[in-house]
Amino acid sequence: MKIRSAETLVTSPGRNFVTLRITTDDGITGLGDATLNGRELAVASYLRDHVVPLLIDRDAARIEDTWQYLYRGAYWRRGPVTMAAIAAVDTALWDIKAKAAGMPLYQLLGGASRTGALAYGHASGRDVPELLDSVRAHLAKGYRAIRIQTGIPGLDSVYGVAASSAAGGERYDYEPARRSTTAVNRPVEEVWDTRAYLRHLPNVFEAVRAEFGPELPLLHDGHHRMTPIQAAKLGKALEPYDLFWLEDATPGEDQAALRLIRQHTTTPLAIGEVFNSVYDYTTLLGERLIDYVRSAVTHTGGVTPMRKLLDFAAVYGIRSGLHGPTDISPVGMAAALHLDMAVHNFGIQEYMQHAAQTLEVFRTSYTFTDGLLHPSDTPGIGVTYDDDVAATFPYEPAYLPVNRLKDGTVHDW
């Protein structure tokens, strides 16, 4: 089973997605997600110009060998562009292997360890009443675990909070793919104040617990904005509200920062959506500094390394909480779901839900019932790509916002 062709597909049904489609000489196709939000065309070029020519005539069955060839063979290792490109190849080859076997991918990964993957959705509100409405709307949609983010008094807008009615919040719970209104397309800039955030957030959790009780798993994302001591303080302040996790408290590069947070709080910690290699986790896992691994299949080199990473985490009793925002395509989402089904140390799966337009291009078979996601038993990863619909949504330049402090200093996020 040789690779006959590999196509790099770029489309923008609501937001930009990069997909690799590999076709074998016996006509089996496989899909892989290569979307890197705000830097999409860099990955498309990496694939088109440097990877696709190497794939033609390779044995499609040799997934591990192809992964090592692309990773070690390039000399230049890691990095989000490289790893998103390798992820797309790896995922597409797993899709092909599972289709050839006539099985859903999770069967090849060892079979189901559970009936479905507990998913969390994103509730948000510009203020507390709007947030409470958004939580209610998510419960009505069937979510059994919910991330909460709110506006902060004194700040105009906060990333992760829907700009329009949060209770509706159907399409995106926020707009990371904002189009600029200026002639030159530049990122939107937001103003941030960590002290105001730290003062406000415990009150938000107080209000949500008062309204919805102690049972509902609640999560929160700090978007890498705190110093270690600020994060330690927040973790302590949130202990009475029994969070499922506090995510990305400090900037991702600094693994040692988590030591300080850990010494001060029992609030569970999650990190890793901007990581792209197991080497980003060695201190975190080896010293048990986190509770959940947040990586995405799409940004960590695919199904092959993600399985290894989760097995490494399992040695330390650390569980998965794979990244699943709408800037990961339905292909990347489905790949995550197969892993969620198979690994023993599953924790939770992020599930924001794609826009209807996105799902016209990417036809999914995964289901969401009673708060649990299931990848379906369709052979492969269970997603198809509609070229005709995709062609009606050409690429549109878009950036994630940039974050500044009140004095204009560029800040982490």
- Contacting positions for Mg ion (CB under 5 A): 221, 273
Q: Which of 138, 223, 299, 411 is catalytic?
A: 223
Q: Which of 114, 110, 138, 111 is nearest to 124 (CA)?
A: 138
Query: Could you say which of ligand CS2, Mg ion, none residue 130 binds, taking C-beta under 5 to 8 angstroms by partner kind?
Result: none
Residue number with CB closer to Mg ion (51 or 218): 218
Query: Could you say which of Mg ion, ligand CS2, none residue 155 binds, taking C-beta under 5 to 8 angstroms by partner kind?
Result: none
Give the separation between CA 373 and CA 112, rounded to whole angstroms.
13
Give the separation between CA 266 and CA 279, rounded to whole angstroms.
25
With CB under 6 A, what is the number of residues at the site for ligand CS2? Answer: 8
Which H/E stretch holds residue 402? strand 402-405
Residue at token pair 């000489």: 25
Give the separation between CA 89 and CA 6, rounded to whole angstroms.
9
Quickly count: other Cβ atoms within 10 Å of residue 113's Cβ.
15
Q: Does 37 bind ligand CS2 (CB under 6 A)?
A: yes
| E strand residue ranges, 255-303 | 269-271, 292-293
Give min distance, CB of 328 to ligand CS2, in A. 7
Residue number with CB closer to ligand CS2 (5 or 164): 164
Going from the C-alpha of 9 to that of each of 21, 45, 360, the distances in angstroms are 7, 11, 15
Quickly list H helices, 102-227: 105-108, 128-140, 194-212
Catalytic-residue membership of 50: no
Of 327, 353, 373, 385, the residue at the interface with ligand CS2 (CB under 6 A) is 327
DSSP secondary structure, 71-98, as one string = HTTTSS--SHHHHHHHHHHHHHHHHHHH
Residue at token pair 């794979």: 322
Q: Does 272 bind ligand CS2 (CB under 6 A)?
A: no
Q: Does 173 bind ligand CS2 (CB under 6 A)?
A: no
Residue number with CB closer to ligand CS2 (67 or 197): 197
Residue number with CB closer to ligand CS2 (292 or 366): 292
Give the separation between CA 176 and CA 398, rounded to whole angstroms.
8
Residue number with CB closer to ligand CS2 (188 or 389): 188
Residue number with CB closer to ligand CS2 (58 or 225): 225
Of 221, 280, 291, 340, the residue at the interface with ligand CS2 (CB under 6 A) is 221
Query: Could you say which of Mg ion, ligand CS2, none residue 176 binds, taking C-beta under 5 to 8 angstroms by partner kind?
Result: ligand CS2
Q: Does 349 bind ligand CS2 (CB under 6 A)?
A: no
Query: Could you say which of ligand CS2, Mg ion, none residue 325 binds, taking C-beta under 5 to 8 angstroms by partner kind?
Result: ligand CS2
Give min distance, CB of 146 to ligand CS2, in A. 13
Q: Does 371 bind ligand CS2 (CB under 6 A)?
A: no
Give min distance, CB of 294 to ligand CS2, in A. 7
Give min distance, CB of 18 to ligand CS2, in A. 13
Whether the CB-CB separation of 313 and 271 falls below 8 Å is answered with no
Quickly list H helices, 243-371: 257-264, 282-286, 303-315, 330-342, 356-361
Q: Does 273 bind ligand CS2 (CB under 6 A)?
A: yes
Give min distance, CB of 174 to ligand CS2, in A. 8
3-11, strands of its sheet edge to edge: 3-11, 17-24, 29-33
Pull the structure tokens for residue 195: 């002290």
Pull the structure tokens for residue 245: 């996790």
- What distance lies between CA 412 and its chain's CA centroid? 18
Q: Which of 46, 159, 174, 385 is catalytic?
A: 159
Give the separation between CA 198 and CA 60, rounded to whole angstroms.
51
Residue number with CB closer to ligand CS2 (340 or 350): 350
Q: Does 176 bind ligand CS2 (CB under 6 A)?
A: yes
Give min distance, CB of 220 to Mg ion, in A. 10
What residue type is assigned to position 208 of the chain?
A: V
Of 30, 104, 235, 325, the residue at the interface with ligand CS2 (CB under 6 A) is 325
Query: Could you say which of Mg ion, ligand CS2, none residue 340 binds, taking C-beta under 5 to 8 angstroms by partner kind?
Result: none
Quickly count: other Cβ atoms within 10 Å of residue 2's Cβ.
13
Give min distance, CB of 386 to Mg ion, in A. 29
What residue type is assigned to position 33 of the chain?
A: D
Q: Does 194 bind ligand CS2 (CB under 6 A)?
A: no
Give min distance, CB of 58 to ligand CS2, in A. 31
Going from the C-alpha of 237 to that of each of 179, 226, 412, the distances in angstroms are 37, 14, 22
Catalytic-residue membership of 159: yes
| Interface residue list for ligand CS2 (CB under 6 A) | 37, 176, 221, 273, 325, 327, 350, 400
Tell me the catalytic residues.
159, 223
